[in-house]
Amino acid sequence: MMRMMFRKPLLALLAVAVLASAACAAASKASSLARGGKGNAETSLERDIDGGIAITCEGVSLNNGVVEVKYILLPEEDVVVKIEGATDLFDVKGKRLAAPSGDYVLIGKESIGEREIIAGVKTPVTLKYTVPDGYALADSYARMSFSLNGQNLTFRNIPSKTIPVKK
């Protein structure tokens, strides 16, 4: 009789422990994805890539008739970075901005697709898209991809941001 009294509470305690363990595992996986860990991290705006480079997508802005997608690179070591293969940029309403051609990449303040960046220094990277007159910036952009040092990167749900007008 005594054995029966403890069996149900023991099973309930075991079930709680299993559920708690599963919840911790899910939270851990979500945390690693937010910083670009293993798995599909396309929805994260921050990630670490091979070669010890942290990359953060800062958003999309409209500047003098050009849509700019801005990133910050932070390398662990001095490294040469090469950016290429930018694809179309899609807003959340399905409007597509065609892939840029020519000088569309700024690394630092240089219009160049390949250059050395320095360990521990946050280096801005801007990809530019020419748009027609009167283009209105979307609230967010659904997808944008490019290649950084041969690694294909896709960012999704990129927010727009307003650039203050300089006086």
Q: What is the pLDDT of residue 162?
A: 63
Q: What is the DSSP letter of 141?
A: E
Distance, in Å, from the CA atom of 128 to the CA atom of 106, rounded to the nearest integer, reads 8
- The pair of structure tokens assigned to 109 is 């303040």
pLDDT for 151 beyond 70: yes
What is this structure's pTM?
Answer: 0.70
- The helix or strand, by DSSP H or E, that contains position 144, with its residue range, turns out to be strand 140-148
Q: CATH class for domain 46-159?
A: mainly beta
Q: In what order do the strands lie in the sheet with 66-75?
A: 46-49, 53-63, 66-75, 123-130, 105-107, 110-111
Q: What is the pLDDT of residues 122-142, one digit of tens each?
A: 999 999 888 888 888 998 999
Three-state DSSP at 108 gives coil
Distance, in Å, from the CA atom of 78 to the CA atom of 87, rounded to the nearest integer, reads 27
The stretch 93-120 carries a mean pLDDT of: 87
In 3D space, the residue among 49, 32, 66, 25 whose CA is nearest the CA of residue 155 turns out to be 49
The domain spans of the chain are: 1-34, 46-159
Distance, in Å, from the CA atom of 53 to the CA atom of 106, rounded to the nearest integer, reads 17
In degrees and rounded to multiples of 5, residue 62 shows phi and psi of -115, 125
